[in-house]
Structure 1
């Protein structure tokens, strides 16, 4: 459980991280991952993996030479974008360098991989974990920044903006 002080510290840290990032315009999660991979000096590959409902819809797996984001193929475009940015947020926060306990469901998903590698899979499903809260907050702030900074003068975010709480800027026609 976060104290009020640690909550404020988390917000300051994550807000600063989100504001310093170079974001592609127009925003595309795959392009964002390519920029992050370049910044980190190691590839990030997105893999579509069909999983059952007991396993999270996105996982981050790090190896000695590359990072892999596993994503369910049936996710909507908006959900896929959030999954990719959330998993990228784990990398941005340095969670790939933290020791991680074995995650439930990972052995079932990746039975052919060594236990040492599987322990480095970041696929937590409990949002009460500090690393999950930090990654989720960073992903949300990044996507909020995307909506805030683009597109052009009218900033019409259309249906996707409405789904994430940004009102459309379309002119309202008076009745009558």
Structure 2
């Protein structure tokens, strides 16, 4: 394990440890503990995310962190996205000194379509909180994986009636259902 990986591991363990959770917990426990630590309500809201939108994002207001995640993905993926976005809340959103990312007009148009009544000042804040440098993404992925391993209940299995995103099928070696097999 190199020095950077050890640093990320220590940072993520410290963040998770600061929540005073038991050894095994649920995602709701993690949401509640993050809310208690930040003083803001944390909610997860399925949304239609596609095109230039990331898989998940956090909308920050004075009283709430709203985690937006795609409604058209598996429960397993949605859980991972939730944990990933919670990592950004715990590890990165408190950093007021973070530089503003470059403007992305395509992203701003997509946000406007998703949330048409969003105040213009919040678009910049949303943009600022959905674009992260590589180190922050590595930290969030490590935290999400670590949290997933500590879930009290097993990570939800793919429901039979849920479609597994094709791009992830090969990554996770998910067999093709008989009903999806090509007919020759």
Query: Contact between 1:58 and 1:70, CA under 8 Å: does it hold in 2?
Result: yes
Aligned to 1:171: none
Label 1:62 to 1:5 Cα distance change in 2 as closer, same or farther (>3 A). same
Please give the secondary structure, in 2, of the residue aligned with 1:116: helix
Does residue 142 of structure 1 match 2:150?
A: no
Q: Deviations over 1:8-35 (max 9, x none)?
A: 2222222333345444797432442123
CA offset at residue 41 of structure 1? 1.3
Given that 1:10 and 1:134 are in contact with CA atoms closer than 8 Å, whether structure 2 keeps it comes out as yes
> Following superposition of structure 1 onto structure 2, how do residues 3-14 of structure 1 map, counting pairs within 5 Å?
4-14=2-12
The CA distance in 2 between the partners of 1:44 and 1:65, in whole Å, is 9
Contact 2:43–2:67 (CA under 8 A) maintained in structure 1: yes
Count of matched residue positions in the alignment of Structure 1 and Structure 2: 150
Task: Report the secondary structure of 2:54's partner residue.
Answer: coil
Paired residues of 2:25 and 2:150 also in contact (CA < 8 A): no
> Unaligned stretches of 5+ in structure 2?
158-171, 173-184
Residues 106, 118 of structure 1: 8 Å contact kept: no
Which sits farther off after the overlay, 86-95 or 105-114?
105-114
Q: TM-score, normalised by structure 2?
A: 0.65
Q: CA deviation at 1:131?
A: 1.2
* Alpha-carbon distance in structure 2 between the residues aligned to 1:19 and 1:84: 18
Q: Give deviations 1:37-87, integer Å, cap 9, x for gaps.
A: 122211112222112243112111112222111111112111111111110
Matched ranges for 1:81-160 at <5 A: 81-98=79-96, 99=98, 100-101=100-101, 104=104, 105-111=106-112, 112=116, 113-121=118-126, 122-124=129-131, 129-146=134-151, 150=152, 157=154, 160=157
Pair 1:158–1:58, CA change in 2 (3 A):
closer
3-state SS, counterpart of residue 64 of structure 1: coil
- 1:159 CA displacement: 7.5
User: Would you say the 8 A contact 1:42–1:65 is kept in 2?
Assistant: yes
Q: Aligned in 2, Cα 1:138/1:61: closer, same or farther, shift over 3 Å?
A: same
Gaps of 5+ in 1: 152-156, 166-176
Match of 1:18 in 2: 16
